[in-house]
């Protein structure tokens, strides 16, 4: 039977909103600041007025090169500011701020955009943060054993912090030294400095292959690979060529009774069913449940759903 394609939203945000979209662009609020970014999938017309769009703090102007371009600032924006995400009740193993048990938030730094169009957070991924935290909390209620989670292409660390807050021991891997440093700053901002997180600057495939040789095992793995990238020593990553080999390597470091595997793919023409199929092949013989779909964001203006990425995820 063919799998159902689910649409996952992240409704718990207060510091982020997709205000409007259309005509190949999207208008977003990150904390108190608004930004216009390209969005080729927004085929419809804008709902909000031209004045509202023109009042944005900055507009990303793409160049002819893929992902290239620059920001045009129309209002002053600080070099960085803080945002927060309220984790679902019960997501924190122990709240670090002294608030009532079972409630908490991630706090993280957002940087003023420079050459790239990204600001340090992918808000749609919060649906995965909540889901993984629930899985970890559920397992910890049944067993006192450690839960080891591997986050590959971890970027600024928000997924790592969410699962660490839920009680997992985390290994966070990213090829960018800057991103890992940013993630460690977010760990401190979130009050999670004492949580067991290993921060690794390395090529994802090489790291996983070394872990396999060392006999290291993980109960959960999160993969958020880019379309194209380079490791710290110039290793080339191309998602269509590299992802199957990486998933095979990940299977070798899964524990005997794994908890979850989450795969999210951006910016490529990969249907969700194909992400489902490659993950199903990876997890063959493990039992459990497999699902797939799209991470979507709902507009504040007209309620339209904007697809941001495809995903597939498995859980025992």
Q: Where are the domains of the chain?
A: 79-315
What's the Cα-to-Cα distance from 245 to each of 63, 155, 221, 237, 252, rounded to whole Å?
33, 21, 15, 11, 11
129 in Cβ contact with 12 (< 8 Å): no
239 in Cβ contact with 225 (< 8 Å): yes
194 in Cβ contact with 164 (< 8 Å): no
- pTM score, whole prediction: 0.92
The pLDDT value recorded for residue 70 is: 87
Mean pLDDT of the chain: 91
Torsion of CA 150, 152, 155, 159, to 10 degrees: -40
In terms of residues, how long is the chain?
Answer: 316
Q: Kindly give, in sequence order, each residue whose CB lies less than 8 Å from that of residue 141, ignoring residues fewer than 6 positions away.
A: none
- The topology under which CATH files domain 79-315 is Rossmann fold (3.40.50)
pLDDT at 109 exceeding the cut of 90: yes
Helix, coil or strand: residue 81 = strand
The pLDDT value recorded for residue 66 is: 64
CA separation for the pair 207, 172 (Å, rounded): 11
pLDDT at 1 exceeding the cut of 90: no
pLDDT at 149 exceeding the cut of 70: yes
Quick one: average pLDDT of 46-50?
98
pLDDT at 110 exceeding the cut of 50: yes
pLDDT at 270 exceeding the cut of 50: yes
- Strand pairing class (58-62; 33-38): parallel
Band the pLDDT of 239: cuts 50, 70, 90. Answer: confident
Q: Give the CA radius of gyration of the chain.
A: 19
Closest C-alpha among 152, 16, 170 to residue 93? 170
Residue range 3-14, pLDDT digits in tens: 889 999 999 999
The pLDDT value recorded for residue 89 is: 58
CA separation for the pair 150, 183 (Å, rounded): 15
Quick one: average pLDDT of 157-181?
96
CA separation for the pair 131, 262 (Å, rounded): 10
Band the pLDDT of 104: cuts 50, 70, 90. Answer: confident
Quick one: average pLDDT of 44-59?
97
pLDDT at 68 exceeding the cut of 90: no
260 phi and psi angles, rounded to 5 deg? -160, 160
Within 208-278, strands assigned E span 220-223, 228-230, 236-238, 260-265
Query: What does 208-268 look like in DSSP terms, one character per residue?
Result: HHHHHHHT--BSEEEE---SEEE-TT--EEEHHHHHHHHHHHHHHTB-SS--EEEEEE-SS
């Amino acid at each position: 039977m063919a799998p159902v394609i689910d649409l996952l939203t992240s409704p718990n945000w207060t510091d982020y909103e997709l205000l409007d979209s259309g005509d190949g662009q999207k208008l977003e609020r990150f904390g108190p600041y608004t930004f216009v970014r390209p969005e080729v999938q927004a085929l419809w017309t804008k709902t909000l007025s031209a004045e509202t769009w023109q009042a944005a703090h900055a507009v990303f102007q793409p160049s002819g090169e893929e992902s290239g371009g620059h920001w045009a600032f129309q209002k002053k924006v600080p070099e960085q500011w803080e945002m927060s995400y309220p984790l679902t009740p019960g997501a924190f193993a122990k709240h670090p701020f002294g608030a009532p048990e079972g409630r908490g938030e991630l706090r993280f730094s957002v940087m003023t955009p420079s050459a790239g169009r990204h600001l340090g957070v992918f808000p749609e991924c919060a649906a995965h943060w909540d889901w993984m935290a629930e899985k970890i909390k559920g397992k910890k209620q049944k067993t006192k054993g450690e839960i080891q989670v591997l986050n590959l292409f971890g970027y600024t660390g928000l997924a790592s912090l969410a699962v660490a807050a839920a009680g997992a021991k985390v290994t966070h891997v990213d090829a960018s030294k800057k991103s890992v440093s940013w993630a460690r700053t977010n760990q401190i901002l979130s009050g999670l400095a004492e949580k067991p997180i290993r921060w690794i600057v390395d090529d994802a495939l090489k790291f996983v292959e070394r872990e396999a040789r060392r006999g290291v095992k993980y109960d959960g793995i999160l993969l958020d690979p880019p379309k194209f990238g380079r490791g710290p020593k110039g290793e080339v990553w191309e998602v269509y060529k590299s992802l199957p080999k990486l998933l095979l390597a990940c299977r070798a470091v899964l524990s005997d009774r794994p908890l979850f595997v989450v795969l999210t793919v951006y910016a490529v023409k990969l249907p969700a069913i194909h992400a489902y199929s490659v993950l199903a092949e990876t997890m063959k013989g493990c039992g459990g449940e497999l699902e797939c779909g799209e991470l979507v964001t709902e507009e504040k203006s007209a309620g339209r759903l904007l697809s941001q990425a495809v995903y597939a995820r498995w859980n025992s």
